[in-house]
Chains A and B, each alone.
Chain A
Amino acid sequence: MQLSIKKLGKNNVAIIYKLLHDSLLVLIIFFIFTLIAEAILPDIIISHIGFSKIVIALLLNIFLITFLAGKISIENITQKNGGKNKSLAKFASPFIILGALLLFNNQLGLNLFLNLFIILICGIIGYLSYQILFNEE
């Protein structure tokens, strides 16, 4: 594997690494689109492409990005992206809203207030879990 990477050349590895990011973006968009479409009209996508295939493709893509990240030549990297990262809250907010909408949609048959209550409880549990698992202090 090490030899194959060397054979590819540093620029080719960088190109593949960049293309993998493009494919990850496409896969994430497709995954979110599938979630929304399935929530509105069940079976519309997964009767043609199973969720497992999409998830496996996503995981494989992430694995390859992680693998290639360590192989990229240092001269290809101009700057660390740490400083440019948006805050987690800004990044996570669209996903939290989407998650809440999907959860609400999933419980359409329930009483409105019970539905909202369940979403609130899920939100609290999610927040507390995050605090416990990822808070460094």
Chain B
Amino acid sequence: MLDLTKEIKLDEKSALRYRRWQAFFYAFCFASALYVAYFIFFPTQEFNFSFTMLTSNKGNAVNPRTTEGTLITDGKFSAGQKNYFDTSLVGSFSKIKLSFTPNRSSSSPENTRIDLRKSYRAFLYPESSPIGFKNGTLVKHKNDYYLISEGKRRKFKDRSTLFALGFSESAFIDTDEQDLSYTPLDEEITDTKIYPADSLFKIDDVYYRSSTDGSLEKFSSAGAFHSQYEENFAIPKNADFLDAYAVAKNPIGFADGSLISYGTSAFIVSRDKIYPIGNPDIFLNQGYDWNDIIIASSDELSLYTKEKLFTLTSVHPDGTIFFAPDTQKWYQIENGQKHELPSEKIANSWLKKHPISVLAKSLDVLGGCDLQKETFGGYACLIPLNDSEDTAGKYYEFTFMAKNDLKINNLNLLYEKNMTVQNLKLALRNMILRIKARYGIQGAPQ
């Protein structure tokens, strides 16, 4: 047997004792190794929110709040009021154990129903009015040709007006009345000398857009233009065309929701802000596609204000487009609301990259449980997670309505994995994929 200290002599009786202790020690180490392996292959994730020691909650994402979004820090939940808490995490889990530890003075939370939805956080925003075509889009219906300008639909007086202005007939997207109805009709385009706002031009490989004040706004790059519009939307012009127009100082950047990269960093563009993406895992788990990344220059990057890191708990910013394959519907995020893009053609006018795919059924309650008294003090219940894996999105939103006024000391969520061969295979597969992704080996998730 292994002896690392042969120079230390023991009498026969002590040597036997040492052998026994050594065998016990190595058996203990082997059991410990199995225990560690169990946690690696069947990991648990715990989230805790203590209402009695708020400073200990730093970094935890349980976020208990009211319907209005006010953070609940005193542990008081009023009867009949809807409350929320949430977590964001990666990984497939078999069940969630929810534990409430009530204060001694609190009434019992027994039989309080807790419901779960799993999706992307922004996709759970309330739905608002649908949106029509994007400004600058050229559409036609039967013999009518339109330019979408300043959120309205402007009809060309006739085909000769359209040609006189330099628009190409092939650039117009054939659509129907239903799609057009989402964009209100405005004044007809009759003038062949003055371009309406949101007309697009290409001059010496530089792209411009006419603005409301009659000046031109330059796109920062061809990449920026193509993140917003089709190539054939731009009217080709000679350089002398610029003599008649003032060019605005600030260039137009990338479309909202675009993914840009500079060096090894990737960012999400939204309005005049960019959100640096924390790491490749966050990029993939927030539903983005590597193929959508546009390489930006340092000048283009300087057009934006850098916001704080985009993590797994972050909400997709304004301009993000979701696609629900189960209902074939598109949605755009704007100002904390979700607007439907009512048809594929309308969606395509906004979308020049892959949308973020998420099942519409993730808006429904996927599971729930009723709190029951545990042997030692608290109240707990289990939500199985069998149905929630395919919906995409790593955001778990819990809602409950207390039957009585409650005063809770502690709220705990434990995500667990069942020890099954299937879960072991899944864990191994995920590990291999993560290693492949880390080393850039083909077959890694893109």
A interface residues, Cβ below 8 angstroms from B: 11-12, 14-15, 17-19, 21-23, 25-26, 40-42, 44-45, 47-49, 72, 75-81, 108-109
Contacts and interface: CB of A to CB of B under 8 A. Distances in A.
Interface in B1-46: 2-11, 13-14, 17-18, 21-22, 25-26, 29, 36, 39-40, 43
Contacts of B22: 18-19, 22
B5 A17 contact: yes
Given A15-B17, A19-B21, A19-B25, A80 B3 contact: no
Nearest to B279: A42
A88 to B, nearest CB: 19
A77 B22 CA distance: 19
Interface of B: 2-11, 13-14, 17-18, 21-22, 25-26, 29, 36, 39-40, 43, 264, 431, 434-435, 438-439
| Central interface residue in A15, A44, A47, A48, by most chain B CB within 10 Å | A15
Interface centre among B5, B6, B11 (most CB of A within 10 A): B5
A11 B11 CA distance: 8
Q: State the majority secondary structure of interface residues on B.
A: helix
Contacts of B5: 17-18, 21
A72 B25 contact: no
Given A22-B25, A22-B26, A17 B8 contact: yes
Contacts of A48: 36, 39-40, 43
B307 to A, nearest CB: 24
B264 A109 contact: yes
Contacts of A21: 4-5
Contacts of A75: 9
A42 B439 CA distance: 12
29 contacts: A12-B14, A15-B10, A17-B5, A17-B8, A18-B3, A18-B5, A18-B10, A19-B21, A19-B25, A21-B5, A22-B2, A22-B25, A25-B4, A26-B26, A40-B435, A40-B438, A41-B431, A41-B438, A45-B36, A47-B43, A75-B9, A77-B7, A77-B8, A78-B6, A78-B7, A78-B9, A79-B7, A81-B7, A108-B439
B21 A15 contact: yes
A45 B32 CA distance: 13
Contact of B14 (A15, A22, A45): A15
A106 B258 CA distance: 30
B7 A80 contact: yes
A49 B36 contact: yes
Contact of A18 (B18, B29, B264, B439): B18
A112 B8 CA distance: 49
A37 to B, nearest CB: 9
A41 B434 contact: yes
Contact of B10 (A14, A42, A47, A108): A14
Nearest to B2: A22
Nearest to B18: A15
Nearest to B21: A19
Nearest to A34: B36
A108 B29 CA distance: 34
A76 B25 contact: no
A15 B15 CA distance: 8
B434 to A, nearest CB: 6
Nearest to B38: A48
Contact of A19 (B7, B18, B264, B434): B18
A45 B43 CA distance: 11
A81 B8 CA distance: 10
